[in-house]
Amino acid sequence: MGKPTGFLEFERLEEGYAPVETRVKNYKEFVIGLKPEDAKIQGARCMDCGTPFCSSGCPVNNIIPDFNDLVYRNDWKNAITVLHSTNNFPEFTGRICPAPCEAACTLNVNDDPVGIKSIEHAIIDKAWAEGWVQPRPATIKTGKKIAVVGSGPAGMAAAQQLARVGHDVTVFEKNDRVGGLLRYGIPDFKMDKGHIDLRVKQMEAEGIVFKTNVMVGELPKSGPGSKVTNWAKETVVPKQLQADFDAVLLAGGSEQSRDLPVPGRELSGIHFAMEFLPMQNRINGGGKVNDQIMATGRNVIVIGGGDTGSDCVGTSNRHGAASVTQFEVMPRPPEEEDRPMTWPYWPIKMRTSSSHEEGCDREFAIATKEFIGEGGKVTGVKTVRVEFKNGKFEEVAGSEQVLKADLVLLAMGFVSPVDTIISGFGVDKDNRGNARASTDFMGGYATNVDKVFAAGDMRRGQSLVVWAIREGRQAARSIDEFLMGASDLPR
């Protein structure tokens, strides 16, 4: 619980940022983590609240009061043990999770919540620095073979859990490096890819085999699904995996982008965010791409007000865009949430990311009616103001305008995993196009196809990294039970 009176004595301390004028010149991480003494003070703020809503607000159910208390007492080694007991990759979540645990913190009822995310960040960084993060290979092998399709956070978490109880695990990734959307979706300035590489080395020492540049199944020939990043050099048909392995886990991302089928969509210069972002990440990693989409000197319009849109803003600024404007169809949210109405749930309120602070005009309650072009290239976007009335958006009369645009990035979220991947295994889909599987305690994450399981975005649709880790861990337990009749893995 930290210090009994700590929440009365100490204020919340935020992590720092490198100056804007410095950080936009490169793609390096720029968040300045808390010093150990500052993390200790944040840990001291954790209350003896009786019911730790933070733990239930966290998708992986981190045992937050315990590691807060351990940091307060300078017992960092036990703090990482507690943190790792529920979260395989706190260096990922400590950097890019939006921290629903902090929204649920009891202090957040009428004060600033404990800086839980910054404490988690401090714990794992210290653990790596001190050499406390070591491989944990299984002492007894089961002889069972498991294929994991997708090397994002769900696939990585499941693979690590399954390897640690003695199964032989092979992870298949269609791109050239492990990490899924962590590698080629999240910009490097938000999370350096060296953190993934460290985990891959640990997991390889635990016996996990990673096969990159291998596409399991196939992408569609046309449509948004065909635009998914795919640098595979080899293809494996689903039936081959089903024949060669005792179980298969589908853990790919929800990569099929939501399109915007308005007049002018066929113009060049209009791209999905997930065409734009992976290219820069690959170049940062020393790779090459053909015909990189660049924002340099261009008037960029990002359509979509979420995290992916924000990532497009930050990357465009680093390219040296002439201007960046971000559209959001929803009205501008309030600056502060109505805490009595929302706590302990995730509130709707105005959120300004570090990318927005680097330079961006934000437009709310705006919709795109048409893309304007000359010579086959986009030159502008015709927009209209909208109001949400009677359960739908209605246009505001006389509010049409045309904004200049040389590059348009569609960042309106993702509709589903790629249909052909799921269909290739014969797996049933739910009404949103995701692989159909329950999360029941018994038989959870199993699909209608024998030996085939699904977890993460593949099962639940577009979501957070922390939800992917949760589902990967839970699916691992279900697979272990399926293969062995019982499991000691945590759920």
Phi, psi values for residue 256, rounded to 5°: -80, 110
Just give the CATH number of 6-130. Answer: 1.10.1060.10
What is the crossing angle of helices 194-205 and 153-164, to 10°? 20
d(CA 315, CA 283): 13
Contacts of 474 (CB under 8 A, 6+ apart): 439, 444, 445, 455, 491
Contacts of 132 (CB under 8 A, 6+ apart): 77, 80
Within the chain, all domains assigned CATH 1.10.1060.10 are found at 6-130
pLDDT in tens, the chain (491 residues): 678 899 999 999 999 999 999 999 999 999 999 999 999 999 999 988 989 999 999 999 999 999 999 999 999 999 999 999 999 999 999 999 999 999 999 999 999 999 999 999 999 999 999 999 999 999 999 999 999 999 999 999 999 999 999 999 999 999 999 999 999 999 999 999 999 999 999 999 999 999 999 999 999 998 899 999 999 999 999 999 999 999 999 999 999 999 999 999 999 999 999 999 999 999 999 999 999 999 999 999 999 999 999 999 999 999 999 999 999 999 999 999 999 999 999 999 999 999 999 999 999 999 999 999 999 999 999 999 999 988 899 999 999 999 999 999 999 999 999 999 999 999 999 999 999 999 999 999 999 999 999 999 999 999 999 999 999 999 999 999 999 999 999 98
What's the pLDDT score for residue 1?
Answer: 67
Helix ranges (H only) for 376-437 are 419-424
Phi, psi values for residue 364, rounded to 5°: -110, 160
Please state which of the four CATH numbers 3.40.50.10490, 3.50.50.60, 3.30.70.270, 3.40.50.2000 is assigned to the domain occupying 259-412. 3.50.50.60
What's the pLDDT score for residue 2?
Answer: 73
Within the chain, all domains assigned CATH 3.50.50.60 are found at 145-256+416-484, 259-412
Amino acid of residue 176: D
C-beta pairs of 61-66 under 8 Å, 24+ apart in sequence: 61/86, 61/470, 62/86, 62/87, 62/101, 62/120, 64/101, 64/116, 65/1, 65/2
d(CA 243, CA 241): 5
* Of 262, 217, 218, 264, the residue nearest 242 (C-alpha): 217
- Per DSSP, the three-state class of 197 is helix
What's the pLDDT score for residue 219?
Answer: 93
What is the crossing angle of helices 36-44 and 116-130, to 10°? 140
Q: Is the CATH code 1.10.10.410 the one for domain 145-256+416-484?
A: no
204 dihedral zone (left: phi>0; alpha: psi -120 to 50; beta) = alpha
- Residues in a beta bridge with 407: 300
What's the pLDDT score for residue 226?
Answer: 92
> CA-based Rg of the chain, rounded to a whole angstrom?
23
